A and B are shown apart, each in its own frame.
Chain A
């Protein structure tokens, strides 16, 4: 026999008969004042702009029968993944919450579950026991969050079901991992130089973005020392906004951004920097296919044997209000189409490039020619 008193409003909404005997014993709840739950229900309904969907008896908890104002909220509590109930398919609404249960409920509500916030992965930087930053742990948390996004089923990212990975301030070190950001999954940091994803990945990119998504408000740094390294590899239509990318460690080619897809890439307020001792060349953008439309930014390549703000092997680049700075050429058009307007080119171009209203490194104006 278990007897409690003064346990609060939830206890009154169920009669003794409604409380399941999940403890393998009879449970008797003493009744709080009859007016308390009614008042609370009214207040909760009046205060919340959010209204839980209409209660469905028994779903997902068998003992939630849609007879009180709490019940729709309890069902949402279950759907959000904050509680899976008290066992046996029940929620046990009148049972007092213990402190150990509460810790889990609130932490889940704070840090997110598979269903909360909806289609959003919250990732916070971790700290060591001495409170110093733990970039490696933070990077692993980021990788785990990406991996946990479903790849099939009703919840999988799609055109009508986009997802977001939201990153708090801090350094996220991926080590040598090279994750894929799935299609229809966006990533949003807390600001350039505020949220930084870094790695020392081997040959290839720090991260591949599969497209139909946004990447914004963060910095990407790849210091990998393989023969080739890049920051972001875009293999699907992607919008980058307020993003910084730095790549510097490869012995051969350092490319801040590689675009290899047939759709459109939109860049807005993006700063790309490729530097280091590349024996081949360093490239702000390496355009292999597709169309890049860029507004406002800096694409800078320095160091190494050759440096190009942008190299076009194919595809089309339309660039507005961007500073293009290459130690060899601001633009090297090998096999694509390059149109530039209202931008600064601090060095010459190679190949066919159409320029309109551009200016050089000394701010000398060129109405219809390239510097």
Chain B
């Protein structure tokens, strides 16, 4: 152990405060002996510090510089050694709430303890890549570097686990009025044989239709992305299912809720009995802005509707393509389709469903009429 002694009294005119940091004995443990938590390296510290001159200076100027101001400091929450006596303390509490640091053990933060490089690496990586609380209600997902083995599969597994970590209940859970966003960087997220289950009120924003791709290669009843409730918006990405060999292969499956796709390309290609770009059961779907739903192989439909409830399928300035039917309206939906491409076959309508179309065209730019 190395002993550090702080001596001195510092007057801070702007705050009208005087911080006495006299004779604080701080024990600094060897950082590399940290057992499990990077912050726990300093767990044995027994005398928290009030900070030194430089700390006071930083705290003093912090408020003046920052656009963001943390909420008012509450003594002892979440760290018992944070007493709201310095300009740092509100920031430290926010630091804890954001999940960047969980303290130095025993409910303490140990504000006066020096930061070691190993601790610092974790803190900054958490700040960069996000925690459960930071950024708020936003899940940041970046592709693994190509040097990390099968980076697409690693990235896909990480996407699944990060989405699964979104709380399913409690005050933080996604809801109307409490939406979440998953932000994907450029790259391919290979889900392997797994399905990405997206909770309601969670949207996904990619980095571009060609730049962010979620793909899977599955067999049996295969689904790349499944949504069952709430409102979900997908923007600027591609969703693929390339592996269906069993009964069906769906790129997106909706079992309730409302799906809005904007600049999204959805495709199901394989040798399953049924290939469906989007399967919608009792769900509303809106497609905008050069979005596309494409299916090829076996019996293939760009969009397939099913269920007993009335819903609307709205398609503007997009493309639907399926070797059997670009849209197979099996559930009595109202389909409003404007200025969109209808490729490879004709639209199909059954039951009480109705199509309303204007300005739609086929691959040769010939006008397409509604069923």
Contact status of A106 and B127, CB under 8 A, knowing A125-B136, A170-B178: yes
Q: What residues of chain A lie closer than 8 Å to B61, measured between beta carbons?
A: 84
Does chain A have a CB within 8 A of B86? yes
Q: What residues of chain B lie closer than 8 Å to A179, measured between beta carbons?
A: none
Does chain A have a CB within 8 A of B233? yes
Contact in complex: A6, B30 (CB < 8 Å): yes
Contact in complex: A6, B179 (CB < 8 Å): no
Contact in complex: B57, A84 (CB < 8 Å): yes
How far is the CB of A34 from the nearest CB of chain B, in Å? Answer: 17
Does chain A have a CB within 8 A of B218? no
Does chain B have a CB within 8 A of A56? no
Contact status of A169 and B231, CB under 8 A, knowing A99-B104, A101-B54: no
Contact in complex: B58, A107 (CB < 8 Å): no
Complex alpha-carbon distance, A8 and B31, angstroms:
11
Binds A, one of B65-73, B238-246, B264-272, B319-327: B65-73
Binds B, one of A22-30, A65-73, A329-337, A348-356: A22-30
Complex alpha-carbon distance, A7 and B114, angstroms:
8
How far is the CB of B248 from the nearest CB of chain A, in Å? Answer: 30
Identify which of B68, B111, B138, B203 contacts A100 (C-beta below 8 A).
B111
Complex alpha-carbon distance, A15 and B303, angstroms:
70
Identify which of B5, B51, B171, B231 contacts A98 (C-beta below 8 A).
B51
Q: Nearest CB to that of A109 among chain B residues?
A: B127
Complex alpha-carbon distance, A84 and B95, angstroms:
19
Q: Nearest CB to that of A83 among chain B residues?
A: B58
Contact status of A84 and B58, CB under 8 A, knowing A194-B179, A296-B317, A363-B358: yes
Binds B, one of A185-193, A258-266, A311-319: A185-193
Classify chain A's interface size. 35 or more
Q: What residues of chain B lie closer than 8 Å to A152, measured between beta carbons?
A: none
**Interface 0/1 of B123-158, CB less than 8 Å to A:** 110010000001111100000000000000000000
Contact in complex: B123, A106 (CB < 8 Å): yes
Contact in complex: A145, B8 (CB < 8 Å): no
Contact in complex: B356, A363 (CB < 8 Å): yes
Q: Nearest CB to that of B104 among chain A residues?
A: A99
Does chain A have a CB within 8 A of B192? no
**Interface 0/1 of A100-114, CB less than 8 Å to B:** 111111111111111
Q: What residues of chain A lie closer than 8 Å to B54, measured between beta carbons?
A: 22-23, 85-87, 92, 95, 101
Contact in complex: A107, B95 (CB < 8 Å): yes
Complex alpha-carbon distance, A86 and B57, angstroms:
6
Contact in complex: A145, B58 (CB < 8 Å): no
Contact status of A169 and B138, CB under 8 A, knowing A3-B2, A114-B65: yes
Q: What residues of chain B lie closer than 8 Å to A170, measured between beta carbons?
A: 136-137, 178-179
Does chain B have a CB within 8 A of A327? no
Contact in complex: A108, B65 (CB < 8 Å): yes
Q: Nearest CB to that of B42 among chain A residues?
A: A99
**Interface 0/1 of B4-44, CB less than 8 Å to A:** 11111000000000000000000010110000000000100
Does chain B have a CB within 8 A of A362? yes
| B-contacting residues, A1-46, CB 8 Å | 2-9, 22-25
Q: Nearest CB to that of A121 among chain B residues?
A: B67
Contact in complex: A342, B359 (CB < 8 Å): yes
Contact in complex: A242, B66 (CB < 8 Å): no
Contact status of A168 and B233, CB under 8 A, knowing A109-B127, A194-B179, A269-B288: no
Complex alpha-carbon distance, A131 and B115, angstroms:
29
Identify which of B57, B109, B134, B336 contacts A99 (C-beta below 8 A).
B109
Contact status of A87 and B57, CB under 8 A, knowing A98-B111, A363-B358, A365-B358: yes
How far is the CB of A364 from the nearest CB of chain B, in Å? Answer: 9
Q: Nearest CB to that of A120 among chain B residues?
A: B67
Contact status of A168 and B137, CB under 8 A, knowing A130-B171, A194-B179, A296-B316: yes
Does chain B have a CB within 8 A of A321? yes
Identify which of A22, A25, A114, A168 contacts B135 (C-beta below 8 A).
A168
Contact in complex: B53, A86 (CB < 8 Å): yes
Complex alpha-carbon distance, A122 and B138, angstroms:
14
How far is the CB of A172 from the nearest CB of chain B, in Å? Answer: 12
Does chain A have a CB within 8 A of B351? no
Contact in complex: B65, A84 (CB < 8 Å): yes
Most chain A CB atoms below 10 A, which of B55, B94, B114, B203: B114
Identify which of A81, A102, A141 contacts B65 (C-beta below 8 A).
A81
Most chain A CB atoms below 10 A, which of B58, B69, B179: B58
How far is the CB of A295 from the nearest CB of chain B, in Å? Answer: 10
Does chain B have a CB within 8 A of A371? no
Does chain B have a CB within 8 A of A282? no
Identify which of A7, A23, A114, A342 contacts B67 (C-beta below 8 A).
A114
Complex alpha-carbon distance, A192 and B289, angstroms:
14
Identify which of A8, A98, A168 contacts B52 (C-beta below 8 A).
A98
Contact status of A124 and B135, CB under 8 A, knowing A84-B65, A98-B49: yes
Does chain A have a CB within 8 A of B329? no
Complex alpha-carbon distance, A163 and B211, angstroms:
27
Contact status of A8 and B8, CB under 8 A, knowing A104-B88, A124-B135: no
Q: Nearest CB to that of B357 among chain A residues?
A: A363
Does chain A have a CB within 8 A of B216? no
Most chain A CB atoms below 10 A, which of B4, B56, B65, B172: B65
Q: Pick 14 A–B contacts, CB within 8 A, sort by A.
A: A23-B8, A23-B54, A85-B57, A86-B53, A87-B56, A97-B115, A102-B120, A103-B91, A108-B66, A110-B100, A133-B171, A169-B137, A170-B137, A194-B179
Q: A84-B58, A86-B57, A242-B262 are in contact. List 6 more A-B contacts (CB 8 A).
A: A85-B57, A97-B115, A101-B54, A104-B91, A111-B68, A168-B136
By Cβ-Cβ distance, the 3 closest A-B pairs, closest first, are A86-B54, A100-B111, A87-B57
